[in-house]
Chain A
Amino acid sequence: MPLNLDQVGRIARLAHIEISPAEALQTRDRLNAIFALIEQLQAVDTAGIAPMAHAVDVSQRLRADVVSETDDRRAAFQAVAPETEAGLYLVPRVIE
Chain B
Amino acid sequence: MINASLKELSAALAGKRLSSVELTTLFLDRVERLNTTLNAFISIDRSKTLDMARAADVRLAAGNAGPLTGIPLAYKDIFCTEGWLTTCGSKMLSNFVSPYDAHVVERFKSAGMVTLGKCNMDEFAMGSSNETSFYGPVKNPWNTGRVPGGSSGGSAAAIAARLAPAATGTDTGGSIRQPAALCGLTGLKPTYGVVSRYGMIAFASSLDQAGPMAKSAEDCALLLNAMAGFDSRDSTSLERPAEDYARDLDDPSQALRGLRGLRIGLPKEFFGEGMEPGVRAAVEAALAEYRKLGATTVDISLPNSGLSVPAYYVIAPAEASSNLSRFDGVRYGYRAPEYADLTEMYCKTRAQGFGAEVKRRILIGTYVLSHGYYDAYYLQAQKIRRLIANDFAEAFRHCDIIAGPTAPGTAFEFGAKSSDPVQMYLSDIYTISANLAGLPGMSLPCGFDAGKLPVGLQLIGNYFDEARMLNVAHRYQQVTDWHQRMPEGLSI
A positions within 8 Å CB-CB of B? 3, 7-8, 11-19, 27, 30-31, 33-42, 44, 46, 49-56, 58, 60-61, 63, 73, 76-77, 79-83, 89, 91-94
Q: How far is the CB of A53 from chain B (nearest CB, A)?
A: 6
B102: Cβ under 8 A from any A Cβ: no
CB distance from B142 to the nearest CB of A (A): 30
| Complex interface bits, B368-403 against A, C-beta within 8 A gives 1, otherwise 0 | 101000001101111111110100000000000000
Q: Does B414 contact A (CB under 8 A)?
A: no
B66 touches A (CB below 8 Å): no
Q: What's the dominant secondary structure at chain A's contact region? A: loop
B143 within 8 A of A: no
Contact assessment for B235 and A46 in the assembled complex, using a CB-CB cutoff below 8 Å? no
Chain A min CB distance to B237 (Å): 9
- Render B53-80 as a binary contact track against A, CB cut-off 8 A, 1 for contact: 0000000000000000000000000000
B206 contacts A50, C-beta separation under 8 Å: no
Q: Is the Cβ of A41 less than 8 Å from the Cβ of B380? A: yes
- Determine whether the beta carbon of A51 is less than 8 Å from that of B386: yes
Residue of A nearest to B335 (CB): A82
Which residues of the other chain, A, contact B387 by a CB distance below 8 angstroms?
A: 44, 46, 49
Nearest 5 A/B pairs, CB to CB: A55-B438, A51-B382, A46-B383, A55-B192, A18-B347
A16-B350, A38-B313 given; A31·B328 CB < 8 A: no
Please state if A50 and B386 are interface contacts (CB–CB under 8 Å).
Answer: yes
User: Given contacts A15-B321, A77-B99, are A33 and B421 in contact (CB under 8 A)?
Assistant: yes
**CB within 8 Å of A: which B306-337 residues:** 306-307, 309-311, 313-314, 321, 325, 328-332, 335
Q: Are B360 and A80 neighbours in the complex by a CB distance under 8 Å?
A: no
Q: Are A12 and B363 in contact (CB under 8 A)?
A: yes
| Contact partner, A46, options B306, B330, B343, B380, Cβ 8 Å | B380
Interface 0/1 of B99-141, CB less than 8 Å to A:
1100000000000000000000000000000000000000000
B97 at the interface (CB under 8 A from A): yes
User: Is B346 an interface position by the 8 A CB rule?
Assistant: yes
CB pair B360 A34 closer than 8 Å? yes
Q: A7 to B368, alpha carbons, bound, how many Å? A: 12
Q: 13 A–B contact pairs at CB < 8 A? A: A18-B348, A27-B359, A46-B383, A49-B383, A51-B385, A51-B386, A52-B383, A52-B389, A54-B236, A55-B438, A56-B193, A79-B97, A93-B341
- Which of chain B's residues have a CB closer than 8 A to the CB of A36? 422
Is chain B's binding surface mostly helix, strand, loop or mixed? helix
B347 near A16 with CB under 8 A, answer: yes
Residues of chain B contacted by A93 (CB below 8 angstroms): 341-342
B368 contact set on A, CB distance < 8 A: 38
- Do B310 and A40 touch across chains, with their CB atoms under 8 A apart? yes
A56, B437: Cα distance in complex, Å: 9
Q: Are B192 and A17 in contact (CB under 8 A)?
A: no
Closest residue of chain A to B371, judged by CB? A14
B99 touches A41 (CB 8 A): no
Contact B235 A27 (CB under 8 A): no
Tally of A-B residue pairs with Cβ under 8 A? Answer: 164
Is B383 a contact partner of A92 (Cβ separation < 8 A)? Answer: no
- For B380, list chain A residues within 8 Å (CB): 41-42, 44, 46
Query: Any chain A CB within 8 A of the CB of B362?
Result: yes
Using A51-B383, A54-B236, A77-B99 as known contacts, say yes or no to A89 and B330 having CB atoms under 8 A apart.
Answer: yes
Known: A27-B363, A44-B380, A52-B389. A17 touches B347 (CB 8 A): yes
Contact of A41 among B206, B311, B342 (CB under 8 A): B311
- Could you tell me if B354 and A17 are in contact, using CB atoms closer than 8 angstroms? yes
Given A14-B370, A16-B328: A92 and B339 within 8 A (CB)? yes
Residues of B near A82 (CB, < 8 A) are 329-330, 335
* CB nearest neighbor in B for A82: B335
* Cα distance A40–B382 in the bound complex, in angstroms: 14
Q: Which residues of A contact B193 (CB under 8 A)?
A: 55-56, 58
Using Cβ atoms and an 8 Å threshold, which residues of chain A touch B421? 30, 33-34
Known: A18-B344, A34-B425, A38-B314. 19 other contacts (CB 8 A): A11-B367, A14-B370, A16-B350, A17-B354, A17-B363, A31-B360, A31-B363, A40-B306, A46-B384, A51-B383, A53-B382, A56-B238, A56-B438, A61-B235, A91-B330, A92-B339, A92-B341, A93-B342, A94-B341
Q: State the Cβ distance, B365 to closest chain A Cβ, in Å.
A: 8
Q: Which of B172-195 contact A (CB under 8 A)?
A: 191-193
Chain A contacts for B232, CB-based, 8 A: 61, 63
Residues of B within 8 A of A38 (CB): 310, 313-314, 368, 377
Q: Is the CB of A80 within 8 A of B206?
A: no
A51 to B377, CA, bound (A): 12
Given contact pairs A33-B422, A77-B99, A52 touches B382 in the complex (Cβ within 8 A): yes
In the bound complex, what is the Cα–Cα distance between A27 and B380 (angstroms)?
24
Please tell me which one of the listed residues A18, A33, A63 contacts residue B420 in the complex, with CB atoms under 8 A apart: A33
Closest partner residue, chain B, to A58 (CB atom): B238
A60 CB contacts on chain B under 8 angstroms: 235
Q: Which residues of chain B are within 8 angstroms of A30 by Cβ–Cβ distance?
A: 360, 421
Question: CA–CA, A18 to B379, complex, Å?
Answer: 28
- B354 and A80 contact, CB distance less than 8 A: no
Which chain A residues border B271 with CB–CB below 8 Å? none
